Structure formats: structure tokens, C-alpha cells
Structure 1
Amino acid sequence: MPDTTHRHEEDRSEEGSVGLPDLGDSIDAMTFEQILEMDDDEDEREFSRSIVFGFFEQAEQTFEKMDDALEKKDLATLSSLGHFLKGSSATLGLTKVKDSCEKIQHYGQLKDEAGTADEPDEEKCLGLIKETLVAVKEEYAEVEKVLKKFYAS
């Protein structure tokens, strides 16, 4: 039987909330709640669980591909993978992961972090991608832990 003793306090702390635990500042609660609202059963959460765990699998495969592309100094592939993961992380409201993936997308296009100015130095862009990839993996590990805890309760 799920533990609901502390759930009521959380209901009061967030207006209109479905009783979400504090997801931290790496997850946009409003966006994530929209996915939770599609669940038929709040205890089972089959729909959102399948999306979230599908994302974990997708992210881990994408990180492996990014590591390979980085080794090959393949900026176009890195940009494309960054773009791909940016979209799926945005859907779940994983804001930090999304932002880092967007940076990788831009660096892969030989642009600056915001994608507004050209950065013609390929080695510099590869170095920035390498740094951002380390950061995004840490951000991902953090949200994975939070979400796995959410689905375990």
C-alpha cells in the first residue's frame, strides 16, 4: 500500500497540484504535471511511467552516441543528437538537461552557447561540447534519481 501520510501537506503547498513531491529545480513541475494528468490511475501511473522510463533509455543511448561522435570530432552528429535530446527532455520539463542539450546543438553548429554568434574554431567547440556533456550527464543523473524515487513511492 502506498505511503500517503505526507502527501496531504504537499497538496496544500502547491496550488492545483496532484500532490507532487518536490521535484527540485531541475524539473519544471507544471510541464511534468501535464504528463501526469494523462495517467488513468494515479497509483499505477502507467502512461507517464512508460514515457519517463522510455526517456531514460533514450537519453543513455544518446549519451553513448555523443561520446562516440565526440571521439570522432563529428560536430554535425553532436548537434543533431543535442537537438534530439533537447526535444524529449523539454517534453518532460527537464529544464537543465534541455538547456545543456541546446548548448551542445549550438556548439555542434559552430555557434556560441546561445546559437546567435559564429564560433569558427572547431577545437574550441569540441572542448565546449566535452564540458557540457559532463555537466548534462550529471544533470540527467540527478533527474533520473528524483524521478525513479517518484515512481517507486
Structure 2
Amino acid sequence: MSATPKADKPVQPAAVSKPNATTKAAETKTADSDPKSPDEDASSTPDFGDLVDSAAFEQILEMDDDDEREFSKSIVYDFFAQAKTTFEKMDKKLEEKNLAQLSELGHFLKGSSAALGLTKVKNSCEKIQNYGAHKDMTGTKEEPDDNVCLKQCKTTIEQAKDEFKDVQAALRKFYKDDGEDEPDEPDEPDEPDEPDEPDGQSD
């Protein structure tokens, strides 16, 4: 049955005993309509501004089969852990001045963030990929100077970290989670203080 424009007014019951074809069609449409409230559909796609591509993130949300959004949440929080680990590796490779590895790590995190629609993080990671490959930010011009590339990588990694923190906070708020994506490790217990040596008796 082809979709018909939604009526502005609810269908009124027929005043005569013989319903005509129009009334039957309206009753069928009413029976087949989704009982969900219109507010539910309107709020299905959150607005994260320029942090997230809503169309891409909506595809992730469509995988959920409950109101708790457990499936999409698990994907998002797996990315949180993945990004944290990748940034740590980037810092290490930056210290080692390993541009090739920085390029690979940028490419890796670019793909993960793009899959979730995390636009700003994706764009910064693409720049890291390009700088690590001895190119400019657009990837169209060669940049042979290692020091220039390393400096650009360092600046962009810090920028990507800030953008990640922003989108992480926004997504946690969406999932109504004010805690961390993983439980904090308990602090190591302090070593007990050595007991004071008893004062020696004077000779």
C-alpha cells in the first residue's frame, strides 16, 4: 500500500452504516500506523553540532533494538578506549620521531572516527596521516622536511585530543552517563610507614 500524506485531523467515524471506500482506506491506514508517539521519532537523532555527522551517527543508532541503546553505546565506548590507546601510541611515536608510524596511526583512527561520524576527530586524524607521509595538511603537496612534519603532527595530535574530549563528553551526556568509559583502577595502597626506631638509651 503506497504511503499517503498524513491527515491534519484524526479520522472521524462514519455517520452512515455503509462505509465508503475512502472511510475503509482511512481505517486501514489508522490500523497500520505506528502507535509510537511523534515525539519519539523527533528525538531519535540528537544534534551534536559540528562535532558529529548526524546522518552517519543515525546509522549506528538504527542498530539498537531497545530504548537503552546498549548496542550503539558499546560501539561508541569501544571507540573511546581505542582512541585513548591510539593517542598514547602517537605520543610515543612522536618522541621517536617515527613519521611513518604516525601516518599509520592517523589513518587508523581516521577510519574509526569516520565510521561513527565524529567529523572533527576524523579531519584531524587525516591531517596527521598526511603530515606523517611527508605531505601538507591536504595531502596534495610534498613536505620533505622531517622537523616541519613532526611539528605539525604534534600540534594536530593535541588538537585531536581536545576534539576527542569534547565529543566524548557530548556522547556520554547523550547516553546519560556521567562516569568514565571504564572503571578507574583503584589507587595502589600506600606502603605502611616504617615504625620509628625506639630512642636508644643513653650510655
| Partner residue in 1 for 2:133 | 109
Query: Can you list the C-alpha shifts for 1:51-87, whole angstroms capped at 9, x where unaligned?
Result: 0000000000000000000000000110000000000
Query: Can you list the C-alpha shifts for 1:33-52, whole angstroms capped at 9, x where unaligned?
Result: 000001111x2111101100
Aligned equivalent of 1:120, options 124, 144, 164: 144
Aligned equivalent of 1:48, options 60, 72, 85: 72
Equivalent pairs: percent with the same residue?
61
| Partner residue in 1 for 2:44 | 19
Displacement after TM superposition at 1:8 (Å) = 3.3
| Partner residue in 2 for 1:149 | 173
> Counterpart of 2:158 in structure 1: which amino acid?
V
Q: How many residues align?
A: 140
The separation in 2 between residues aligned to 1:126 and 1:148, in whole angstroms, is: 32
Whichever structure has more helix as a proportion of its residues is: 1
Question: Any gaps of 5 or more consecutive residues in structure 1?
Answer: 1-6, 12-17
The separation in 2 between residues aligned to 1:91 and 1:21, in whole angstroms, is: 17
Q: Is the 8 A contact 1:86 1:101 kept in 2?
A: yes
Show structure 1 runs of 4+ deviating over 4 A. Answer: none
The separation in 1 between residues aligned to 2:166 and 2:41, in whole angstroms, is: 21
Calculate the TM-score normalised by the size of structure 1.
0.87
Higher relative contact order (CA 8 A, sep 6+): 1
| Partner residue in 2 for 1:8 | 39
**Over aligned residue pairs, what C-alpha RMSD do you find?**
1.7
Displacement after TM superposition at 1:9 (Å) = 9.4
